[in-house]
Amino acid sequence: MALVVQKFGGTSVADADRIREVADHVARCRRRGDQVVLVVSAMGKETDELLRIANEVSKSQPGREMDLLITAGERKACALVAMALNDANVPSASFTGSQAGFNTDSNHRNAKIVEVNPTRIREAIDNGMVPIVAGSQGVSPEKDVTFLGRGGSDTTAVALAHALEADACELYTDVSGVFTTDPRVVSDARKMPTISFDELLEMTAVGCPKPVMRSVEVAQRFRVPLHVRSAFTWEPGTWVVEEDPTMEEAIVKAVVPDTSEAKVTVIGVPDQPGIAAGMFRSLADAGVNVDMIVQNVSLEGRTDISFTCPHDEAEEAAKICETTSGEDCEVHTDTEVGRVSLVGAGMKSNPGVAAKMFETLAAANINIEMISTSAIRISCVVRSADVDNATQALHDAFDLATA
């Protein structure tokens, strides 16, 4: 008998039919002998809808009030799933973040979990019930409702699985697992049966949409076995596990395409200590999510700095650079860029991977504009129009379609 925390995302509980499917699935798991704890997100586009009405009503949107507003979505989904389970003859009870023992800091909109004391959840399990926990929420030391941020339900599920010493945390979503690349781009993309935490973190860092990075970090820290799988086909998905010896053979595991970022280039930055630091400090203070940063070789006391950031932050980022980079600098913003990344733990000890990547792109007549690497990842910025071709070419070159 295993204890499993199952998290259902917004699309998995989007309407009455989907909620009943979740209830049927839980009933099947119980018949198989598993103990199940659920974590649910808000239904479908509910969170977007709550943000829309907040925008209609208010310009200021204080964090404390936004958190009360937004968390209503998960509570609603939670209550409805509990009702559907009741109809399916599965004894169950809903729990808000506070009731489930999620104590957080007071950082509204993006609260961090301080401690999980799931006393009531344990009691419910011991009484043979399925507890259903509202995702992405908790209570602050001031006894105010807090929201863990968009995608916080994944983190709720992982933290709860850790606190309950669960055997696994299953993240149910609208994809059936983690793929060698985006199946919409490459038709022979292959679902991987396992992937390491490090690899998945690198993949999410460069644009792989699921699961949410923060939850993978928490899972890795506490060694919570994650299973990313589909709430539509219910087939086995991808297990996220610690790196294991058998993985050494696979050099490259996945190709991740991403067109969500723009490139900002600052030309002629004085090559003096503190100038670049001041610029990136200002960008951080303004909340710009700077990702790749590349600095070219310094020539005549001046250097060029390029970085990427989300499309909708590029304009503000460019303005900040203009005011902080010094008088003689030029700032260019380019929204027609894309990024393609190779990820794989085996790359650490295989220096030939970068060379093969560059050769493959050259053979496909694709120009590389920026390069950045980590121990288990290489990313190239190219024209956005070239991203799909680059992805297909790399997927072929590294034989990712065959296990």
User: Which positions lie near a copy of itself, rule CB under 8 A?
Assistant: 15-16, 19-20, 50, 53-54, 56-62, 64-66, 68-69, 71-73, 75-76, 78-80, 82-84, 86-87, 93-94, 96, 99, 120, 143-145
Task: Pick between residue 76 and residue 311 the one whose CB is nearest to a copy of itself.
Answer: 76
Residue whose CB is less far from a copy of itself, 36 or 321: 36
Contact present, 135 and 81 (Cβ < 8 Å): no
CB of 127 to a copy of itself, least distance (A): 13
Q: Minimum CB separation from a copy of itself for residue 81, in Å?
A: 8
Which residue, 117 or 350, has its beta carbon nearer to a copy of itself? 117
| CB nearer to a copy of itself: pick between 144 and 261 | 144
- Report, in Å, the least distance between residue 55 CB and a copy of itself: 9
Q: How far is the CB of 79 from a copy of itself (least distance, A)?
A: 4
Measured at the CA of 224, the angle between CA 221 and CA 230, to 5 degrees, comes to: 125
User: Do residues 357 and 378 make contact, with C-beta atoms less than 8 angstroms apart?
Assistant: yes
* DSSP-derived secondary structure for 147-181: E--TTHHHHHHHHHHHHTT-SEEEEEESS-S-BSS
Instruction: Return d(Cα 265, Cα 339) in angstroms, integer.
Output: 16
- Please name the amino acid found at residue 311: H
Distance separating alpha carbons of residues 371 and 86, to the nearest angstrom: 54
Nearest CA among 48, 39, 47 for reference residue 7: 39
Q: Which of 138, 163, 136 is nearest to 37 (CA)?
A: 163
Select 16 or 114, whichever has its Cβ closest to a copy of itself: 16
Min dist. Cβ of residue 19 to a copy of itself (A): 5
Q: How far is the CB of 233 from a copy of itself (least distance, A)?
A: 22
| CB-nearer residue toward a copy of itself: 69 or 347 | 69
Asked if residue 81 lies in contact with residue 22, where contact means CB atoms within 8 angstroms, the answer is yes
Question: What is the smallest separation between the CB atom of 276 and a copy of itself, expressed in angstroms?
Answer: 38
Total residues found in the chain within this entry: 403
Q: Find where tokens 């050494």 sit.
A: 248
We find the least distance from the C-beta atom of residue 231 to a copy of itself, in angstroms, to be 16
Residue 118 Cβ, how far from a copy of itself at the closest point, in Å? 14
Cβ proximity to a copy of itself: between 86 and 323 the closer is 86
Could you tell me the end-to-end alpha-carbon distance of the chain, in angstroms, rounded to an integer? 31
Nearest to a copy of itself of 78, 305 (CB atom): 78
Q: With respect to a copy of itself, which residue has the nearer C-beta, 85 or 205?
A: 85
Sheet of strand 137-139, all strands in order from the earlier edge strand to the far edge: 113-116, 102-104, 137-139, 145-147
Q: Which is nearer to a copy of itself, 15 or 248 (CB)?
A: 15
Residue by residue, DSSP assigns 240-277 as: EE---GGGGG-S--EEEEE--EEEEEEEEEE-STTHHH
Minimal distance, residue 167 CB to a copy of itself, in Å: 27
DSSP string, 68-122: HHHHHHHHHHHHHHHHHHHHTT--EEEE-TTTTTEEE-S-TTSPPEEEE--HHHH
